[in-house]
Amino acid sequence: MTLLILNLFFPNLKCIEYNSAEDCLYIGTHKQGVLCFDIASKNIRKEESWGKMGVSFSEILLRGNSLYLLGSNGLFVKSRKSGSVDYLFPEVKETHVEGTSFFYRF
């Protein structure tokens, strides 16, 4: 039901990830980039600073202090501490250290 409602507001929705620490949803779209929906304030923020990643996203995963984004221009990692966005492979080594692949779903 929730996904149906989100699709009404975001018809190009491709992926979604909940951030419990900030009580927000990261929404990856086709051709509209990444949006951040603040649940408490009900505000939507377009992540303009992430333009180098492209405008279409097929996967968003939050692991520890890193947000992994698979976009039309490659696989990127955003540090939640510093806010920096880097191309993940090959320049940046994987930072997930829990012993499983960061694409593992529970």
Query: 21-39, pLDDT tens digit by residue?
Result: 889 999 888 888 888 889 9
CB 31 within 8 A of CB 58: no
What is residue 103's three-state secondary structure? coil
Low-confidence stretches of the chain (pLDDT < 70) are: 1-11, 48-51, 89-106
User: What pLDDT, on a 0 to 100 scale, did the predictor assign at position 24?
Assistant: 92
- Residues 35, 46: contact at Cβ < 8 Å? yes
Give the Cα separation of 15 and 71 in Å (integer). Answer: 11
- Residue 91: its pLDDT value, please? 53
Per-residue pLDDT at 62 = 92
Q: What is the pLDDT of residue 33?
A: 83
Q: Which of 101, 90, 34, 92 is nearest to 63 (CA)?
A: 101
